[in-house]
Amino acid sequence: MSGTAEVPSSGGEQGRAQPVLSARDIWKSYGRVAALRGVDIDVYRGEVLGLVGDNGAGKSTLIKCLTGAEYPDSGSIFLEGREVVFHGPLAARQAGIEVVHQTLGVAPQLDITSNLYLGRELRRKGVLGAWARMLDVPTMRRRAAEEVKGLGIATIQDIGQAVETLSGGQRQAVAVARAAAFGSKVLVMDEPTAALGVREAGQVHRLIASLRDRGMPIILISHNMPALWELADRVQILRLGRVVGVLAPDSSTMEEAVALMTGARVAPGS
């Protein structure tokens, strides 16, 4: 961590608090390929920020830089107004930034509770937990059930059910629930519904909306423009490693976003 820094707040004009997660002037090259060329991003409490762009626009690279999977060549990242430097994904996760990937990030043979608690199991109190490493299964079950119920994944009947017996949509819902549970501050999702059918994707989209309504800031990469237009509060458009626009689905059309994505239209002032 390199001390504190002022975040230039674009949210101020909109009368909002500081962004939960933001980045300024992020640059990242792979050899001669400049994947990111001075990207800014802000995500606020209680919003879904869509991130779109053609293949190769730099979406995944930006996400990797924000979540500790890549180290930017230059630029700054701020979490709750304080500058952060992540040396690896675990550090970002410990700081409260959770990622859901396109591929299902669950362990199929384990049940829902075990998946939610994978890598952060609760131990029994006292000697049994500290020395014998005994797990506090009843508490984990109870909290997992609360979490699943609170998120409205109503179709999951049995918290002890192996995840491999669930549908793809339910599995991805578990992956999202896992990411959202237990004190995470920001959720970042890179095409979380790409491997799902239409109905299953709808289920995951509803879950994302309910997390947003609970205040969770969410960055969502999706190729599904109509779904994103329904779900997102703002949509940021990347093209060739630069931000070419941020649109509000309330006041802009998908066609405008596509025109910016493809370079058919150039954003005013750029």
Ligand X SMILES: Nc1ncnc2c1ncn2[C@@H]1O[C@H](COP(=O)(O)OP(=O)(O)O)[C@@H](O)[C@H]1O
- The contact set with ligand X (CB under 6 A) reads 30, 33, 35, 53, 55-61
Angle subtended by helix axes 168-180 and 198-213, to nearest 10 = 20
Q: Min. distance of Cβ 63 from ligand X in angstroms?
A: 8
Distances (CA, A) of 118 to 104, 105, 110, 114, 165: 14, 11, 9, 6, 18
Q: Min. distance of Cβ 135 from Mg ion in angstroms?
A: 37
Q: Which is nearer to Mg ion, 57 or 216 (CB)?
A: 57
Q: Min. distance of Cβ 157 from ligand X in angstroms?
A: 37
Q: What are the E-state strand segments in 142-202?
A: 186-190
Encoded one letter per residue, x for contact with Mg ion by CB under 5 A and - for no contact, window 60-79 reads x-------------------
Q: Which is nearer to ligand X, 35 or 100 (CB)?
A: 35
Q: Min. distance of Cβ 187 from ligand X in angstroms?
A: 18
**Quick check: 180 and 98 in contact, CB under 8 A?**
yes
**Cα-Cα end-to-end distance for the chain:** 33
Binding partner selected for residue 61 from Mg ion, ligand X, none, CB under the kind-specific 5 to 8 Å limit: ligand X
The 3-state DSSP class for residue 191 equals coil
Neighbours of 173 (CB within 10 A): 28
- Residue with CB nearest Mg ion? 60
Q: Which is nearer to Mg ion, 59 or 141 (CB)?
A: 59
Binding partner selected for residue 56 from ligand X, Mg ion, none, CB under the kind-specific 5 to 8 Å limit: ligand X
Q: Which is nearer to ligand X, 185 or 223 (CB)?
A: 223
Q: Min. distance of Cβ 35 from Mg ion in angstroms?
A: 10
Binding partner selected for residue 236 from Mg ion, ligand X, none, CB under the kind-specific 5 to 8 Å limit: none
Q: Which is nearer to ligand X, 86 or 117 (CB)?
A: 86
Q: Min. distance of Cβ 237 from Mg ion in angstroms?
A: 14
Type of residue at 38: G
> Interaction with Mg ion in 44-63: which residues (CB under 5 A)?
59-60
Binding partner selected for residue 266 from Mg ion, ligand X, none, CB under the kind-specific 5 to 8 Å limit: none
**Quick check: 79 and 97 in contact, CB under 8 A?**
yes
Q: Min. distance of Cβ 190 from ligand X in angstroms?
A: 8
Q: Is 184 a binder of Mg ion (CB under 5 A)?
A: no
Q: Which is nearer to ligand X, 69 or 137 (CB)?
A: 69
Q: Which of 203-210's residues contact partners 24+ apart within 8 Å by CB, and which partners?
A: 203/155, 203/169, 203/170, 203/173, 204/169, 204/172, 204/173, 204/176, 205/230, 205/231, 206/152, 207/151, 207/152, 207/153, 207/173, 207/176, 207/177, 208/48, 208/176, 209/48, 210/151, 210/152
Binding partner selected for residue 105 from Mg ion, ligand X, none, CB under the kind-specific 5 to 8 Å limit: none
Q: Which is nearer to ligand X, 132 or 264 (CB)?
A: 264
**Quick check: 55 and 91 in contact, CB under 8 A?**
no
Q: Give the strands of the sheet with 33-43, arranged side by side.
A: 33-43, 21-30, 74-79, 82-84
Contacting residues toward Mg ion, per CB under 5 A: 59-60
